[in-house]
Amino acid sequence: MTAHTMRVTLTVRDLTEADLPGLAWSGSPLHVANMARQLARARAGAMDYLVVVTATGTSVAKGGVDYETHPGAGSITEVAVRGELQSLGIGTFLVATMEERMRSRGLSRAELDVEENNPRARALYERLGYVAYDRALESWDQEGPDGSPYRYETMCTLMRKELAGR
């Protein structure tokens, strides 16, 4: 068997309305509609909404930093990497960019919550230096297989990281 190596250039940039159709892999139509609403908050400076794209513009990951959830900190939210591309360092690349955005705003702390039924995500955040400090029951609207909305509830671990200076 012959091994081949291929290098792919990825870019993290601000998410735009034009990106939304290409993000259907990240959730239901209800989720994509929520992302569209969040873009208004991004334009107002309340959050950064980012997308990781290939050279051809194909989205491979997305996530946001909310600057209003935790005073004095950026709150990482909605991180998702295409399933077939997980464990390749793309999430690490995205989180590093989010942390840099926080530092550029003068923030010294990052916060996030991770579902307790998602040990892979928690392991990533722990590798990146995030430390658990509490738990909380979280909920949000989701869409069932038949398209009907329902309220999803899950227990989350609250994590934080002190950001080193630039």
Domains and CATH numbers, the chain: 10-162 (3.40.630.30)
Compute the distance between CA of residue 66 and CA of residue 81 in angstroms, rounded to an integer.
19
10 Å CB burial of residue 27 (0-12, 13-18, 19+) is middle
Q: What is the pLDDT of residue 8?
A: 85
Q: Which tokens go with 137? A: 């029951």
Q: What is the pLDDT of residue 51?
A: 97
Share of the chain above pLDDT 90, in %: 84
Region 32-53 average pLDDT:
95
pLDDT single digits (tens) 124-150: 999 999 999 999 999 989 888 888 999
Pick from 66, 97, 91: nearest CA to 79: 91
Under DSSP, the state recorded for 88 is S
**C-alpha 70: how far from chain center:** 16
For the chain, the helix, strand and coil percentages under 3-state DSSP, each to the nearest 5: 30, 40, 30
Under DSSP, the state recorded for 7 is -
Beta-carbon count within 10 A of 19 CB: 18
Q: Which tokens go with 43? A: 């334009």
